[in-house]
Amino acid sequence: MPEALQHIITELTPWLQQYGYVLLFIAIAVEGFGIPAPGQSLLIVASLLAATGQMSLPLVLIVAACAALSGNSLGYFIGWRFGDVLLKKGWIKPQLEDKIHGVIGQYGVAALVLSRFVEGLKQFMFIGCGLAKMPLKQFVIGNALATSIWVALFGLGPVLIRDEIAPMLAFYHQHKYPTWAIVSLILAALITFTWRSWQTKNPQ
């Protein structure tokens, strides 16, 4: 097992054993409204603990999904309701606001979903969606898609591939950028196709 992964498991396992699902929920939720936390790492470790019977996999998945949905929604509300305050205080730079408007305006739901997998961006994108006044229906669909894909990959994935996770991580670290480029293109294509199909069936 890669040293970095083993270190994460060694560091986070005692915290999960002591605080369990409450810690998992808080760490994932706060990331949705701009506070850096090891939510993704905790989810991976919780999944691996569930594979050995130390935690309940259904509960891990439910807690992670509820935390992500609620945290992301709170971030959206903060951006929508207090975006002007954040700008006036200088906590959000005008250049960043323009970039967020451009990305969301061009890619919509796809930008929201893909941002869930990018450190730094995932802590701010949901506030950015509110700041850019993304329509609520569009945000709800994007939030549900982002959460479902993220929980499936990092909550269910480690259980299903626990015997292969070491060589897969080694390959990922050697080919990180090509891997994410391919994954991003596939996800963007699937999201775009799903969104256009939904719009065709539900015209405004």
Cα distance between residue 135 and residue 96, in whole Å: 20
Confidence class for position 47, pLDDT limits 50, 70, 90: very high
For the chain, the structural domain boundaries read 3-201
CB atoms within 10 A of CB 110: 22
Residue with tokens 């196709």: 193
| Confidence band, pLDDT 50/70/90 cuts, at residue 89 | confident
**What is the share, in percent, of the chain residues with pLDDT greater than 90?**
29
**Count of other CB atoms within 10 angstroms of residue 114:** 22
Q: Would you say residue 191 has pLDDT above 50?
A: yes
User: Considering just the CA atoms, what is the radius of gyration of the chain in Å?
Assistant: 18
Pair 149, 75: CB distance under 8 Å: no
**Does position 3 have pLDDT exceeding 60, yes or no?**
no
Residue 35 has φ and ψ, to the nearest 5°, of -105, 115
Average pLDDT over residues 169-185: 65
Residue indicated by tokens 């961006």: 121
pLDDT in tens, 111-140: 888 888 777 777 788 888 898 888 998 899
pLDDT band at 78 (very low <50, low <70, confident <90, very high): very high
Side chain identity, residue 41: S
Distances in whole angstroms, Cα of residue 23 to Cα of each of 140, 147, 149, 160? 25, 18, 21, 23
CA angle 144, 147, 149 (to 5 degrees): 105
Q: Is the pLDDT of residue 6 over 90?
A: no
